Structure 1
Amino acid sequence: MSIKRRHLLGMGISTAAVAACGKIANAPSTTPSVAPVAATSKSASKLRLGFQPPYVAVFALRQQKFLEKAFAGQSTSFEYRRLLSLKPVTEALSAGALDLGLGGTPVAAIAAGQPIRVIALVERSPKTHGLLVLPNSPIKKVTDLKGKKIGNPSGKSYFFAVQVLERAGLKDTDVQWVQIENDAGRAALLSGAIDVWGTWDPFYASAEVAKEVVPLVDGGDYVLNYVALFGRTEYIEQNPETIQRFLQAYKQALTWVQDNRQAAVDILVKENKLSPEAAALTLGRRNLLFEPPNQEYRQELVTQSQLLARLGLIKQQPNWDKAIDTAIAKTVAS
């Protein structure tokens, strides 16, 4: 069963980069120089980033003009595309409509042979995901999900939801999967079209603070939920200086968010039309970081791909040695 919604492609905003910087943010309040790009190096003519609503560092990146500073003297233009979930991000990358993406790792897309490469980790936020039910729902424990309709943007390939079921002794075939985008899930749950809504912040937080839903479980004990920066392999290979400058700027944006929490909440309120309470909850459940892909992350990807293969959702295991690049992020994180 599928409930289709038009993908939101708002916030396609382009700006010409005209300023300079070879420095990146480090621990809380300093911005030491790390592996600056040579002043004579050339960057790509454009950089197009696809992201999802909760990633406040993207809004800070644009508002504080960190990219413009990082690309001083370069003619690079920037475009930000806001999308509701991971699938439209990977679809846009595959079509050549985006250069970089931000979100959960697109395991199925990489397994299918899409030329996508992971270049950095920017969050580890398991509690931002939840399986949500109505406050008066008869579903009180995970085993009550048998025979119920679970709606989420990924259908049966939603790793978190399948993990929850299997740990409770249920199979993926014990529930009905409804593929529904994040902007429609809340209404579907409230109307009774689905019994459980699998989603993440800020959609989760917004419905929770409105007291319309309660979490049956959150992701805390089920997923690591690393948020990754990834992109088209060809773009990354052809534009290493661009990627380095971008990572430097994104790291500065993360530090700015950590040092300016209330301002970051205010940005979430404005950009996502959230209540202050929902925005604060969304930011509070996010553990921001910046580091190269690590072994814990890699092992989680192996676990996810093994599960997807067992469910028949992918035909082969991805080659993670090929799909993960730690080199550029190491120069920025050090």
Structure 2
Amino acid sequence: MKLKRRGLLGLGISTAALAACNKFANAPSNKSSGNLVAANTDASSTKLRLGFQPPYVAVYALREQKLLEKAFAGQSTNFEFRRMLSLRPLAEALSAGALDLGLGGTPIAAIANGQPIRIIALVERSPKTHALLVLPNSPIKKIADLKGKKLGNPSGKSYYFAIRVLERAGLKDTDVEWVQIENDAGRSALLSGAIDVWGTWDPFYASAEVAKEVVPLVDGEGYQLNYVALFGRIDYIEENPEVVQKFLQAYKQAITWAKNNRQPAVDILVKQNKLSPEAADLTFSRRNLILEPPNNEYRQELLEQSQLLTRLGLIEQQPNWNKAIDTTLAQTVVAS
């Protein structure tokens, strides 16, 4: 089952990628949206287009502190920041050539399907930011109560966290009705009764929680590590290693700034995501910001996730993680 709405990308890659490109072309100016920062459009300029999801405070710090401009001082530059609601449209925009780098959960299905994406760094490890949410007066009190219910989330049946929750409670993926719905529509779907449980993450989770509209049935602690990765198009990374390395160095500085300036960082989340101060503070408190190369713990979770997706028939084959992961650029930045 799918709920129809603009931006719901449950379609094939070509249609979804085209929709992403059209969305970019119609995006408002940077002054009003904060999505675009462009210094010079000359063909010889350094170009970097980053797609990211709403809660990544270091991206906003990177922009507001002008850390990329400082990293590329004296060079003609063209930087773009594209805020996206979930991982699927981000990965498809990368594959379509509409983005160069992306920040989010690892796009396992896209990589398994042969899309030209490479993982180069880890920037968060935040398991408690994901949750399965129900209404405060819901008859669903435990995981076993989900049998026969409608579970909505942006990834549909491929939502690894939800699958693990179900299986550990002795349920199968076929015991629930999967509803694929984007994060900006999931809240109203839950409140209206169109779905029984909403699988989402911060800041959508925090915003509904502080409004006392939902309660978490379970969060991600103990079910997934929820590493957030920096990844990009293989051709862009191979053709622009110095640009990517400078980006990583600037992002490392943004993380340090956010950790050392909690209240200003929370204020940025309030402004950029139109959150209440309480929701922004809760979102920030559940995020563990890091900058490190992909590690063995991360690799093991990728293996477990891809094995589960293969078993469920959601991907046809295991990705070659040795080819999909490059640790060299992040190692250089961490060592500097």
TM-score over 0.5 for the pair = yes
**In 1: Cα distance, 2:153 partner to 2:62 partner:** 29
Q: How many matched pairs? A: 309
Q: CA deviation at 1:5?
A: 2.9
Amino acid at match of 1:250: Y
Is the 1:4–1:181 contact (alpha carbons within 8 Å) kept by the matching residues of 2? no
Residue by residue over 1:50-99, the C-alpha shift from the partner in whole angstroms, topping out at 9 and shown as x without a partner, is: 00100010000000000000111222210000000001100100110000
**Match in the other structure for 1:157:** 158
Shift in Å at residue 326 of structure 1? 0.1
> Which residue does 1:70 correspond to in 2?
71
Q: Secondary structure at the match of 1:15?
A: coil
Provide the residue aligned with 2:38 in structure 1. 15
Q: Is 1:51 the equivalent of 2:41?
A: no
| TM-superposed deviation, 1:14 | 2.6
Name the CA distance, whole Å, in 1 between partners of 2:251 and 2:198.
31
Distance (Å, rounded) in 1 between the aligned partners of 2:256 and 2:273:
21
Match of 1:257 in 2: 258
Decide whether aligned partners of structure 1 residues 145 and 119 sit closer, same or farther in structure 2, where only a CA change above 3 A counts. Answer: same
2:319 counterpart residue number: 318
**Structure 2 match to 1:30:** none
**Deviation digits for residues 283-332 of structure 1 (CA, Å, limit 9, x no counterpart):** 00000111000000000000000000000000000000000000000000
| Aligned residue in 2 for 1:2 | 2
Deviations 1:233-254 (A, max 9, x none): 0000010000000000000000
Which SS does the other structure have where 1:98 is aligned?
coil
Aligned position for 1:194: 195
For 1:37-48, list aligned pairs within 5 A. Answer: 45-48=46-49
Letter in 2 for 1:45: T
Name the counterpart of 1:242. 243
How many angstroms does 1:182 deviate by?
A: 0.2
Query: In the alignment, is the contact (CA less than 8 A) between 1:127 and 1:220 conserved in 2?
Result: yes
Please list every run of 5 or more consecutive structure 1 residues that lacks an aligned counterpart in the other structure: 18-42
Give the whole-Å Cα distance in 1 for the aligned partners of 2:63 and 2:4: 31
Which structure shows the bigger proportion of residues in helix conformation? 2
Equivalent in the alignment of 2:105: 104
CA RMSD across the alignment: 1.2
Question: 2-side partners of 1:266 and 1:159: how far apart?
Answer: 32
- Tell me whether 1:121 sits opposite 2:122 in the alignment: yes
How far apart, CA to CA, are the structure 2 residues paired with 1:50 and 1:16? 18
Deviation at 1:4, TM superposition (A): 3.3
Moved more, 71-80 or 45-54: 71-80
SS at match of 1:198: strand
The reply on whether 1:292 has 2:315 as its aligned counterpart is no
Q: What residue in structure 1 maps to residue 167 of structure 2?
A: 166
TM-score, length-normalised on structure 1?
0.91
Amino acid at match of 1:161: A
Q: TM-score, normalising length from structure 2? A: 0.90
